[in-house]
């Protein structure tokens, strides 16, 4: 993968006009109060704000921003507050000033869905400009994409796997690009893309307000299915949180657990019934799209995986990825700790133990919402200092795999003996 995207992972459209960064003076007393409120609420709400950064470092960063308020434009202040929020460490994926949450004054994004592959950053969906689908983003406003990623990276929190997921979203947010001095205007941004044949084109796109982006792109977490190939199995049924398939001529049970929001009792019972069939040699549990939910909901499924029917060496495989997060990450941590499962895929997004159950902090004058965790989830009942759950067998989906409809992660799991 290219340098920065590897470390972190890296014309006309209908748009919504962005608010000018100069429209509201950052030196306004109400803005000063918002900055002070953010710092105070982070300290009040977070159960251990200084687990990875010292109080002195945090306070110094806040005071530096307050001192510079008279010279900061609105979008510059945005990235400075994002930088403060992101400095708290790798267990804080729930803490953030996120582009796509509901803000009173929404942030604006380019109307494209981008995904970081080992080969670089690619456009996977572009409803207003379908000719961009499949192209690699090589520059933003004339700057090489790795240079842009390096500038944006400090405002994105959590571990490396979460960075691979989240960095592209931050890199197409107009206010962030403008606040960092990458784009001259938050409302329109030029990207340079490269087609598979090496042809490069410049496309200037109008940004969309967050709610409009949600409506246009639909799913902002899972990669959309490839437009010209058969949809790989792991991207099927994305509206369902629990489902099964039979693979390898009946020798493998494929159980997809894509969100920890519903009871798992019936799902667990069905998994056990399928696993008891004489031909079955392997149970593959896929949590690559499990971004979380309620970590008290998966106990029956965990117990099924711990049963003698399933929990044997070589019989159970867990698939994880960058979207595996929060309760999904807690589930993966417990499966790793309490079963003989081998893990295949990417590192999970988020640490085995993490700060979650966020409370919203409203910055009324600025119109932004910051999420601050309220509790620490230590599901293993013991200390675990890792910041990610790494796979036993690392496998990535390359850009050629995606557009051909292949899933090398699942293929590896089926082939393992």
pLDDT tens digits for range 187-242: 999 999 999 999 999 999 999 999 999 999 977 888 998 988 899 999 999 889 99
Instruction: Judge if 213 and 269 occupy the same domain.
Output: no
What is the Cα–Cα distance from 150 to 6, expressed in whole angstroms?
11
* CATH code for the domain in which residue 138 is found: 2.30.42.10
Mean per-residue pLDDT for 154-174? Answer: 91
pLDDT of residue 268: 98
Mean per-residue pLDDT for 266-282? Answer: 98
Instruction: Flag whether 48 is in a domain.
Output: no
Residue 16 has pLDDT above 80, yes or no: no
Instruction: Judge if 240 and 199 occupy the same domain.
Output: no
Mean pLDDT for all residues in the chain: 91
Instruction: Judge if 299 and 392 occupy the same domain.
Output: yes
Q: Is 326 left (phi over 0), alpha (psi -120 to 50) or beta?
A: left
Instruction: Flag whether 255 is in a domain.
Output: yes
Instruction: Judge if 210 and 249 occupy the same domain.
Output: no
Instruction: Judge if 288 and 205 occupy the same domain.
Output: no
Instruction: Judge if 277 and 393 occupy the same domain.
Output: yes
* CATH code for the domain in which residue 339 is found: 3.90.226.10
Mean per-residue pLDDT for 288-300? Answer: 94
Instruction: Flag whether 151 is in a domain.
Output: yes
Instruction: Flag whether 377 is in a domain.
Output: no
Instruction: Judge if 213 and 258 occupy the same domain.
Output: no
Instruction: Judge if 347 and 259 occupy the same domain.
Output: yes
Q: Are 84 and 46 in contact (CB under 8 A)?
A: no
Range of the domain at 394: 233-352+388-415
pLDDT of residue 8: 45
pLDDT of residue 219: 79
Instruction: Judge if 257 and 395 occupy the same domain.
Output: yes
Instruction: Flag whether 203 is in a domain.
Output: yes
Residue 25 has pLDDT above 80, yes or no: no
Confidence class for position 162, pLDDT limits 50, 70, 90: confident
Instruction: Flag whether 123 is in a domain.
Output: yes
Report the domain count for the chain. 2
Instruction: Flag whether 67 is in a domain.
Output: no
Strands 200-206 and 188-194, bridge-based pairing? antiparallel
Instruction: Judge if 213 and 250 occupy the same domain.
Output: no
Tell me what percent of the residues of the chain surpass a pLDDT of 90: 80
pLDDT of residue 26: 53
Global pTM value: 0.91
pLDDT digits (tens, 9 = 90+) for 306-361: 999 999 999 999 999 999 999 999 999 999 999 999 999 999 987 787 888 899 99
What is the Cα–Cα distance from 94 to 358, expressed in whole angstroms?
6
Residue 385 has pLDDT above 80, yes or no: no
What is the Cα–Cα distance from 112 to 368, expressed in whole angstroms?
23
Instruction: Judge if 267 and 294 occupy the same domain.
Output: yes
Residue 14 has pLDDT above 50, yes or no: no
Residue 18 has pLDDT above 70, yes or no: no
Instruction: Flag whether 207 is in a domain.
Output: yes
Q: Are 246 and 254 in contact (CB under 8 A)?
A: yes
Confidence class for position 19, pLDDT limits 50, 70, 90: very low
Mean per-residue pLDDT for 25-38? Answer: 88
pLDDT of residue 10: 37
Instruction: Judge if 392 and 286 occupy the same domain.
Output: yes
Confidence class for position 12, pLDDT limits 50, 70, 90: very low
């Amino acid at each position: 993968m290219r340098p920065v995207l590897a470390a972190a992972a890296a014309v006309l459209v209908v748009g919504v006009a962005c608010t000018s960064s100069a429209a509201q003076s950052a030196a306004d007393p109400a803005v000063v109060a918002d900055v002070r409120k953010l710092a105070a609420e982070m300290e009040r709400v977070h159960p251990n704000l200084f687990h990875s950064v010292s109080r002195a470092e945090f306070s110094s960063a806040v005071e530096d921003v307050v001192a510079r308020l008279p010279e900061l434009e609105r979008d510059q202040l945005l990235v400075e507050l994002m930088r403060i929020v992101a400095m708290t460490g790798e267990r804080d994926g729930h803490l953030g000033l996120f582009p796509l949450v509901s803000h009173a004054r929404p942030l604006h994004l380019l109307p494209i869905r981008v995904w970081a592959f080992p080969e670089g950053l690619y456009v996977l969906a572009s409803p207003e400009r379908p000719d961009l689908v499949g192209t690699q983003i090589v520059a933003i406003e004339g700057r090489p994409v790795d240079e842009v990623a390096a500038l944006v990276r400090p405002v994105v929190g959590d571990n490396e796997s979460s960075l691979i997921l989240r960095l592209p979203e931050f890199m197409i947010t107009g206010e962030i690009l403008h606040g960092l001095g990458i784009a001259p205007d938050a409302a329109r941004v030029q990207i340079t893309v490269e087609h598979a044949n090496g042809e490069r084109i410049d496309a200037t796109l109008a940004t969309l307000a967050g709610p409009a982006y949600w409506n246009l792109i639909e799913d902002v977490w899972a990669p959309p299915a490839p437009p010209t190939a058969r949809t790989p199995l792991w991207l099927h049924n994305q509206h369902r949180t629990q489902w099964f398939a039979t693979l390898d001529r009946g020798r493998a049970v494929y159980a997809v657990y894509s969100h920890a929001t519903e009871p798992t009792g019936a799902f667990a019972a069905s998994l056990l019934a399928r696993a008891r069939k004489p031909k079955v040699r392997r149970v593959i549990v896929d949590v690559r799209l499990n971004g979380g939910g309620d970590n008290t909901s998966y106990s029956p499924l965990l117990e099924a995986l711990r049963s003698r029917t399933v929990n044997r060496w070589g019989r159970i495989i867990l698939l994880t990825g960058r979207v595996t997060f929060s309760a999904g990450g807690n589930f993966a941590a417990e499966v790793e700790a309490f079963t003989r499962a081998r893990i295949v895929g990417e590192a999970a997004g988020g640490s085995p133990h993490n700060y979650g159950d966020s409370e919203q902090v409203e910055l009324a004058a600025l119109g932004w919402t910051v999420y601050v965790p309220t509790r620490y989830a230590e599901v293993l009942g013991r200390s675990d200092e890792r910041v990610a759950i790494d796979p036993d067998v690392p496998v990535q989906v390359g850009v050629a795999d995606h557009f051909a409809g292949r899933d090398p992660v699942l293929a590896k799991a089926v082939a393992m003996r």
